[in-house]
Each structure stands twice: as C-alpha cells, then as structure tokens.
C-alpha cells in the first residue's frame, strides 16, 4: 500500500493469528478509488501481498471468524466469506470503525453518532 498524499496509506490491521493478517486503507480524500487499499500477510507481517475487491477506501477491518472479514469505510461496507479472495458490497453507510465479538456481535460506528449492528 502506497502512501502518496496526506489522506492515503494504511488505516487498519487485523490479524487472524500470529502469521496471517490483512491491512486496509486507501485514500480518504478519494474514497471511490479501489487501488492500493488491501494487502495480506502470511508471515507475520514481514511481507505483504496486494489484494483487490474492496469498493473504495476502507478505514477499518476485522475478522468475524477465520474465513469471514468485514471492512468499513466512508462509502460503505464489504464482506468476504473466503478469507479475502472475493468481496461483496453490503451497505453504503459512512462508517469509520468496526469491532467484532463473534458472528452475532458485529458493530460499526460512523459520524454524528451513527451506530450499526450487522446481522449474519
């Protein structure tokens, strides 16, 4: 992920275990751009491999379970059920952060006090 302007770079990391994880980001000044906003590690963060499929800038990511990921950002939410290989856009709400405590406790927050609970 390239940091090219004050609004771009890595904004969130989620580790599934000690070796496997994912980072998200992009450029919040250009939230529709889908390039350079996703990468994966399988060696504890020593190296990263670019991914694709997110629908723009994402400010936060979390594992719901070992294969299910949720990523939120200013132009919506994407979910992957296969470890990040493919993504589905599931909402357009402007969200800044996400937290997970099991499949039935997936919460996100956005501006102006917005609170969202996702249902599986």
CA distance 77 to 38: 14
pLDDT digits (tens, 9 = 90+) for 54-106: 999 999 999 999 999 999 999 999 999 999 999 999 999 999 999 999 999 99
CA distance 40 to 21: 6
pLDDT at position 48 is 97
CA distance 21 to 44: 7
**Full set of structural domains in the chain with CATH:** 8-118 (2.120.10.30)
The pTM of the whole model exceeds 0.85:
yes
CA distance 64 to 30: 27
Higher pLDDT, 81 or 120: 81
CA distance 67 to 85: 10
Q: Are 24 and 62 in contact (CB under 8 A)?
A: no
pLDDT at position 90 is 95
Query: Predicted confidence band at 120 (pLDDT cuts at 50, 70, 90)?
Result: low
């Amino acid at each position: 992920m390239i940091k090219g302007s004050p609004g771009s770079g890595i904004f969130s990391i989620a580790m599934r275990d000690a070796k496997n994880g994912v980072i998200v980001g992009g450029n919040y000044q250009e939230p529709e751009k889908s390039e350079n906003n996703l990468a994966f590690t399988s060696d504890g963060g020593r190296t990263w491999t670019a991914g694709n499929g997110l629908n723009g800038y994402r400010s936060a990511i979390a594992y719901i379970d070992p294969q299910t990921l949720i990523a939120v950002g200013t132009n919506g939410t994407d979910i992957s059920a296969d470890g990040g290989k493919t993504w589905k856009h599931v909402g357009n709400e402007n969200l800044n952060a996400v937290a997970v405590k099991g499949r039935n406790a997936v919460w996100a927050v956005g501006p102006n006090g917005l609170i969202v609970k996702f249902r599986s």
